[in-house]
């Protein structure tokens, strides 16, 4: 039996703030590691794409998406976008998995009053990390497939009425800006079915990393229980501490690179919320068994 739960965002923020100064060295290391990994993947992507297209176009594209204030930047004409997106997608997923598990282990260590050293963060339990990646992939697939059919259908319809939209930068920017952003918001709304699963699997892999569960099946059951009744609040929290800083930094500075500093801090907040919900779930189970 699932019971509606809640959590204190204020306490989670206090927990994060109270641990920033004491662990600033590790936070800076994690930020530097994330930026280094991003730089490495960027170099690999540029080197790979330069075999198929003009190197100047590749460099211009990466400079644009890194330092432009626009969220609607399109690849320049002549760039092999299919290869670009395939390589970028694989490397982004690999990078996120690597950074996420490190920041999660960092935050859980602090929460359990057993902070990890940098050398411990760089070490890996292959079995645990493999299960963690599997849990994230399962969550990702369910979130995406909840919305993809609508996205594909909408792309066909929009492409029919605005054939230049998906052709390249020239056709993209030729469309009226109001219509362009209206289409962008329309596609964002189409992701709504996936929001249910995004909230449900918000803590995917957490119980594997903290040792509460050992398998993907156990983790899925665990997070389904603890997120019952708080899915929208979790998504709102993510929007406030992950998406909003990213957008603000992009608009104000033209780059999202400083966001690497905020990832460990946001993870501290999420971990404290996870611990609150886990304790509430344990309390519920205990009361039901007596």
Q: Does residue 211 sit within a domain? A: yes
Q: Does residue 21 sit within a domain? A: yes
Q: Does residue 233 sit within a domain? A: yes
Is residue 2 predicted with pLDDT exceeding 50?
Answer: no
Q: How far apart are CA 217 and CA 210, in angstroms?
A: 15
Q: Does residue 2 sit within a domain? A: no
Contact between 191 and 154 under an 8 Å Cβ cutoff? The reply is: no
Is residue 286 predicted with pLDDT exceeding 90?
Answer: no
Work out the burial of residue 201: count CB atoms within 10 Å of its CB; fewer than 13 is exposed, 13-18 middle, 19 or more buried.
buried
Is residue 186 predicted with pLDDT exceeding 90?
Answer: no
pTM, to two decimals: 0.80
Domain of 172 in residue numbering reads as 9-285
Average pLDDT for residues 16-24, to the nearest whole number? 93
**Higher per-residue pLDDT: 64 or 239:** 239
Average pLDDT for residues 4-32, to the nearest whole number? 92
Q: Does residue 130 sit within a domain? A: yes
Highest mean pLDDT among 6-20, 93-107, 152-166, 216-230: 6-20
Q: Taking CA 65 as the corner, what is the angle to CA 240 and CA 157, rounded to the nearest 5 degrees?
A: 80
Task: Of 92-96, 116-120, 158-162, 233-237, give the lowest mean pLDDT range.
Answer: 158-162
Q: How far apart are CA 165 and CA 178, in angstroms?
A: 13
Q: What percent of the chain lies above the pLDDT cut of 90?
A: 27
What confidence category does residue 28 fall into, taking pLDDT thresholds of 50, 70 and 90? very high
Q: Does residue 290 sit within a domain? A: no
**DSSP code per residue over 208-251:** HHTTS-SSHHHHHHHHHHHTTTTHHHHHHHHIIIIIHHHHHHHH
Highest mean pLDDT among 85-99, 142-156, 222-236: 222-236
Q: Does residue 1 sit within a domain? A: no
Q: How far apart are CA 154 and CA 165, in angstroms?
A: 13
Count of structural domains within the chain = 1
Q: Does residue 31 sit within a domain? A: yes
Provide the H-helix boundaries in the chain.
9-20, 24-49, 55-67, 81-111, 118-122, 126-161, 169-174, 177-189, 192-200, 206-209, 216-226, 231-238, 244-253, 259-289
């Amino acid at each position: 039996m699932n019971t509606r739960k809640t959590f204190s965002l204020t306490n989670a923020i206090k927990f994060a703030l109270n641990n920033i100064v004491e662990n600033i060295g590790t936070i800076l290391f994690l930020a530097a590691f994330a930026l280094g990994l991003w730089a490495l993947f960027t170099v690999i992507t540029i080197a790979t794409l330069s075999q198929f297209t003009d190197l100047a176009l590749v460099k211009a594209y990466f400079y644009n998406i890194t330092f432009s204030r626009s969220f609607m930047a399109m690849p320049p004409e002549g760039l092999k976008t299919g290869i670009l997106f395939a390589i970028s997608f694989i490397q982004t997923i690999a990078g996120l998995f690597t950074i996420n598990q490190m920041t999660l282990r960092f935050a859980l260590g602090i929460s359990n009053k057993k902070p990890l050293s940098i050398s411990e963060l760089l070490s890996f339990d292959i079995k645990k990390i493999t299960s963690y990646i599997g849990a994230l992939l399962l969550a990702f697939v369910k979130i995406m497939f909840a919305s993809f059919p609508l996205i594909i259908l909408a792309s066909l319809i929009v492409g029919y009425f605005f054939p230049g939209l998906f052709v390249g930068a020239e056709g993209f920017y030729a469309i009226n800006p109001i219509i362009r952003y209206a289409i962008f918001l329309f596609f964002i709304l189409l992701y709504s079915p996936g929001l249910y699963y995004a909230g449900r699997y918000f803590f995917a892999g957490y119980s594997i990393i903290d040792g509460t569960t050992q398998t993907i099946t156990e983790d899925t059951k665990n997070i389904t229980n603890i997120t019952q009744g708080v899915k929208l609040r979790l998504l709102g929290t993510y929007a406030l501490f992950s998406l909003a800083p990213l957008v603000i930094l992009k608009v104000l500075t033209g780059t999202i690179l400083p966001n690497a500093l905020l990832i460990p801090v946001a993870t501290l907040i999420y971990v404290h919320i996870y611990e609150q919900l886990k304790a509430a779930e344990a309390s519920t189970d205990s009361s039901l068994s007596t």
